[in-house]
Every structure is written in C-alpha cells, then in structure tokens.
C-alpha cells in the first residue's frame, strides 16, 4: 500500500512538473546550458597603394577580475599597478567592488600579459580581443587617425570610413558544461560580417620621403608647424600628406590635439605670394596681360593709394614673367588693377578657393574669400598677393595641380578602393574633374612663368639637378590677435610641380613660423628633395612594372 502511495506521489509530481512547470524549468535549463555571445567582426585593414598594410589588427589580452574570488586585494593591486603602470587607487577601487566581473586593463601588451599570468592570482583572467595597430608608427598618422578601445574609428580615415571598416557583429548561442564553462559547440549562430579594407592612394615610400624631408626642415628651421602634400596632378590622387608636429597612433593617448590635427585640411591661413598664380593665370587667360608686358616696380616702394606697397627687393622695369618670378608685390598690384576685382574673384573661385575641395578626409574647412562687393579699397591690391583670403594647403595643392595638368581642377582623393577580405573590389573611387579652370595653352604659359621662378627667380633653391621644375614661393605675414600683420611671425611656403614638361608630382610645402622665414629659403629645398626622390622612385617603380610585365 505504502509502495503504491509513494509511486502515485512520484507519478503525480512528474506529471505536475511535465504539465505545469515544463516551460518555466526548460527556460532555466536553457539559461544554464546555453550562453549567448556577441561575435566581434574583424576590422578592415588599411593598405597603401602597393597593398602594404598601414593599419592592422593584432590580438591583445584584456585583464579582468572577479573581486569576490581574490583573497589579498591590497597585494594584488600593488603587484598589478607595477606591471600595468596603472594608478594603485584605481585598482583598489575596482577590486573592492562586490561584483563577479570587472575590467582592470583593456588590450595590454604581450609582455604585461605574460607578467600578470606569472603572478598566478586566483580571480584574475584574460579575454582575448583585437587591438588596432599601426606598424609604421607616426607615418601617415594624421591621415589614418586611430580607432578606440571598442574598435570604433575616432579620427582620420578610421573615422570617416568607419562604416566600411567596422563590419557587422554576429552572435552565437554556445553550449555550457556543468561547470558553466563555454564549449565551442553552438546551437545557433549568425556569423559576423568582417569589415572591408581600404586601399589608399598614399604610397608608403613617397610618404616616407615627404615626412623625412619635412621633419628635417621642421627641426632645422625651428618651425611651429609644417605641412606637405604630394599629389598626382593629373588625377588628384594624394601620394603623400604629412604634418608636424605629429604623433604615434599606437600611443595616441599621449598626444595632444595639436599633434593629431590634420593641418592640411583643417587649418586656414593667408597664403601670401603663392596666391599670385591665380592673378597670373587670370591675366593670361583673359588676354589682358602677356608675359612680355612691362611693369615699373617703383624701386621697391609704391604709394598705391590706400596703402604703401613694398617689395622685398627693389626692382625697376620688369616683364610680367619677371614680376611673378621675382614675386614683386608692386608689379602684381599693378597687374591686378588692370584685371579688376570681378575677374580676380572669378578666378579665385574657379581655382576652388573658398569652398571645400571635397577630399575624403574629416574636418576640412572651406577657407574664406569675400565677394567683391564686400571688398575694401585695399582688397584689389591685397587679394592677388594672397592677403585677405583664407586657404587650406589642400586647396593650394589642387590649384597648382590644375596649372600642372593643363588647366583641369581635379578633386583630391585619398581612398582608391574598398575591398572585402578576399580582395574583391567593393567600391572604387575614380579621379573626378571638377571643372576646366584655364585653357591648356594658358596653363602651358603659366607653367613657363613658374619655371622662371625656379630657374632665375625667388625659388632657385627648388632647382633639381637634371630635371626641370616650376613653382612659386610665398612668405606670408601672420595676423596678430589685434588684427595687424605680425613682423616676426610668417608662413614660408612653396608650391610647385616636376618635371615641368610632364609633371608627375605637384607638391605643397608650408612651414609655420620658421627661422629664417622666407619660403624660398625654408620650403623650396624641401620641395626639391621630395620631388627629386619621389620622381626617381616613381620612374623605378614604372620600370620594374614594365620588366615584370615583359617577363
């Protein structure tokens, strides 16, 4: 009888569990047996134009703790503080939490990881994550920017192209064993979609050459800042871009905003005499002035009405070519009077000043150029000399490229392709012609004038042995906070192209507050060295390509 009652109770209980409690208990069992895990996608790689990696992902351990399992918290905090170089109070505070999981340090170095493992402290553990790393350290750092701890782009191309690079996370429901340990057996899974890779127009070798020369000048002339852009004038592809001061994106937490800022697109400045290329192009295109027309340069000082103009060296009669070659302010002002404000303004706009170039980099500013109706009496003389206008280095690179390539303003671009992880091209960025600025004939004539600048004018230090080059020097006074022009703060610049007959590179070099300050002295040699080595390298690259194709 007793047996029957016991059996009945058991059957009753089983029925109760099966009929009324099954859903609830199955839910609890599911939670115990299954583990939902978000699967992190692999962030896309950034390559240079030759598919050399500029930004990659490497595995990194992140250290966590289960404070409830740690016996001696004080000793643990002290040991970890020494290894991780983290404030001991921070660790104490973390370890005192009554939680089963707290992060102590994310993405530590392999050495730190090994040292912590050696301590063999119960309650500490590692989770393998991936860390964004930049094998070339500071090279092209301001272009690429950097990604944060959660692999989200925070600066530069990492930020602009984050939607391509980051990918889409997946998820999986893994089984767990009796000890709640995750097993690599999944019940359901949605694979993560890895991020796409970027192929840039940047060439690592040219980038290195540009940074090497810029760095030398930046240090030698004790400048406050410096910028260089090397561009393919026919396509607008940026081959190299660098700024000083700079930073190592692997240690970006130690950098300040000044080092991270991409001055080439974010900073606007009065360009000074390099802007005379606009007046020269306008004068020749409009057929109002020819290269041989002569201007009297008043022996270095001229009362132009609203202001007294000075040349850095006294000149008498100069042809228009010589006016540009010798960078005479008086000659340029007299030419500007012939052109008038409307024509000058039209060409400034045609060359792309006052609007963003549309380059695929973040933080670009448009610069400033006022409409002629807002010009003062002084503006007609000032604007052609590069005063009362604000431009970016990128705009100057586009403008000099337009002269170098026969008159077409190209949109600068830095990302060539977006590829998936198998190397298939997902998206391609082609050169874009913005507009025709000047005729090919005018461009050729302006190029000849700019050759004169390098051969016999203010830019002789840009002369390359065995190669022709054209360019323009600039020495712009900076504005003081009170609105007056400074007498000891200058921007020394050089914009140019080489070889003059069929330009392979257009280069812009800017040095902010160098000592000495003349653009022809500080920036022209940088142009010379960069253009010479870059062209030599490009020729070599082309030759090797021909040889390998022939094979």
Partner 1 sequence: MKLSKTLSILVSFTCFSLAYVHQQTEVFRLGYISQKRQAVFDELLDKNTVLRYNVDRNSSLVHLQDKFSGTDMQMPDTYRLMKVAYLKGNPKSGRKLAKKETFFSGLFSVKREAQAKDLNR
Helix, strand, coil % (nearest 5) of the chain? 40, 25, 35
Contact 44, 167 (CB under 8 A): yes
The mark string for 472-511 relative to partner 1 (x by CB under 8 A, - otherwise) is ----------------------------------------
Kindly state whether residue 126 participates in binding partner 1, applying the rule CB under 8 A. Answer: no
For partner 1, the closer CB: 242 or 381: 242
Least CB distance from residue 540 to partner 1, whole Å?
6
Kindly state whether residue 547 participates in binding partner 1, applying the rule CB under 8 A. Answer: yes
Residue of 151, 198, 230, 153 whose CA lies nearest to 52: 198
Least CB distance from residue 219 to partner 1, whole Å?
13
Q: For residues 455 and 397, give the distance between their C-alpha atoms in angstroms, rounded to a whole number.
A: 21
Kindly state whether residue 204 participates in binding partner 1, applying the rule CB under 8 A. Answer: yes
Q: For residues 550 and 395, give the distance between their C-alpha atoms in angstroms, rounded to a whole number.
A: 40
Kindly state whether residue 135 participates in binding partner 1, applying the rule CB under 8 A. Answer: yes
Distance of CA 3 to CAs 11, 17, 201, 246, Å?
A: 12, 21, 86, 86
Q: Which of 62, 141, 255, 273 is catalytic?
A: 273
The mark string for 37-76 relative to partner 1 (x by CB under 8 A, - otherwise) is ---------------xx--xxxx-----------------
For partner 1, the closer CB: 515 or 536: 536
Least CB distance from residue 536 to partner 1, whole Å?
6
Active site residue 117: no
Kindly state whether residue 189 participates in binding partner 1, applying the rule CB under 8 A. Answer: no
Q: Inter-axis angle of helices 276-285 and 440-455, to 10 degrees? A: 140
Binding residue for partner 1, selected from 90, 208, 234, 518, defined by CB under 8 A: 208
Binding residue for partner 1, selected from 66, 81, 117, 133, defined by CB under 8 A: 133
Q: For residues 174 and 425, give the distance between their C-alpha atoms in angstroms, rounded to a whole number.
A: 34
Phi–psi pair at 231, nearest 5 degrees: -130, 145
Interaction residues for partner 1, span 384-413 (CB under 8 A): none
As given in the structure block, the two tokens for residue 522 are: 């500080």
As given in the structure block, the two tokens for residue 516 are: 């000495």
Residue of 111, 122, 64, 49 whose CA lies nearest to 83: 111
Residue 5's CB: how many other CB atoms inside 10 A?
Answer: 9
For partner 1, the closer CB: 323 or 535: 535
As given in the structure block, the two tokens for residue 328 are: 């005479």
Residue numbers at the binding site for partner 1 (CB under 8 A): 52-53, 56-59, 110, 128, 133, 135-139, 175, 177, 183-185, 204-205, 208, 212, 536-537, 540, 543-544, 547
Q: Which residues are catalytic?
A: 273
């Amino acid at each position: 009888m007793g047996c029957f009652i016991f059996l009945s109770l058991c059957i009753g209980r089983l029925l109760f569990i099966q009929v009324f409690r099954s859903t609830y208990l199955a839910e609890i069992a599911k939670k115990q047996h299954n583990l939902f895990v978000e699967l992190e996608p692999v962030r896309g790689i950034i390559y240079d134009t030759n598919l050399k990696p500029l930004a990659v992902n490497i595995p990194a351990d992140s250290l966590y703790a289960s404070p409830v399992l740690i016996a001696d918290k004080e000793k643990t905090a002290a040991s970890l503080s020494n290894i991780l170089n983290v404030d001991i109070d921070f660790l104490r505070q973390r370890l005192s939490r009554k939680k089963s999981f707290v992060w102590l340090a994310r993405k530590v170095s392999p050495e730190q990881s090994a040292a912590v493992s050696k301590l063999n402290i119960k309650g500490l553990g590692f989770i393998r994550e991936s860390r964004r790393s930049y094998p070339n350290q500071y090279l092209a750092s301001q272009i690429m920017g950097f990604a944060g701890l959660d692999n989200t782009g925070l600066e530069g191309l990492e930020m602009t192209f984050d939607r391509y690079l980051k990918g889409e996370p997946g998820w999986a429901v893994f089984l767990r064993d009796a000890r709640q340990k995750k097993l690599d057996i999944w019940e359901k899974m949605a694979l993560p979609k890895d991020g796409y890779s970027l192929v840039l127009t940047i060439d690592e070798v040219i980038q290195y050459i540009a940074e090497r020369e810029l760095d030398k000048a930046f240090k030698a002339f004790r400048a406050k800042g410096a910028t260089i852009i090397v561009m393919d004038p026919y396509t607008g592809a940026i081959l190299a871009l660098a700024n000083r001061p700079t930073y190592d994106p692997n240690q970006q937490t130690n950098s300040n905003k000044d080092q991270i800022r991409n001055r080439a697109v974010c900073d606007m400045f009065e360009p000074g005499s390099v802007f005379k290329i606009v007046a020269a192009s306008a004068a020749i295109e409009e057929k109002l002035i020819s290269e041989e027309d002569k201007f009297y340069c008043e022996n270095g000082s001229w009362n132009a009405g609203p202001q007294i103009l000075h040349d850095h060296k006294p000149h008498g009669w100069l042809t228009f070519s010589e006016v540009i070659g010798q960078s005479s302010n008086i000659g340029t002002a007299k030419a500007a009077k012939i052109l008038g404000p409307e024509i000058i303004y039209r060409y400034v706009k045609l060359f792309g000043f006052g609007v963003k170039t549309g380059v695929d980099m973040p933080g670009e500013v448009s610069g400033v150029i006022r409409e002629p109706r807002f010009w003062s009496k002084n503006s007609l003389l000032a604007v052609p000399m590069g005063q009362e206008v604000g431009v970016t280095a990128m705009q100057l690179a586009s403008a000099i490229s337009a002269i170098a390539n026969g008159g077409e303003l190209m949109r600068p671009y830095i990302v060539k392709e977006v590829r998936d992880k198998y190397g298939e091209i997902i998206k391609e960025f082609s050169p874009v012609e913005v507009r025709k600025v000047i005729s090919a004939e005018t461009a050729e004539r302006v190029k000849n004038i700019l050759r004169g600048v390098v051969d016999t004018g203010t830019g002789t230090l840009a002369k390359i042995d065995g190669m022709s080059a054209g360019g323009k020097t600039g020495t712009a006074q900076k504005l003081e906070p009170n609105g007056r022009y400074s007498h000891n703060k200058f921007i020394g610049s050089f914009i140019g192209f080489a070889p003059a007959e069929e330009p392979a590179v257009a280069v812009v070099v800017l040095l902010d507050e160098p000592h000495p300050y003349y653009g022809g002295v500080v920036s022209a040699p940088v142009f010379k060295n960069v253009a010479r080595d870059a062209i030599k390298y490009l020729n070599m690259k082309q030759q090797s390509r021909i040889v390998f194709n022939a094979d």
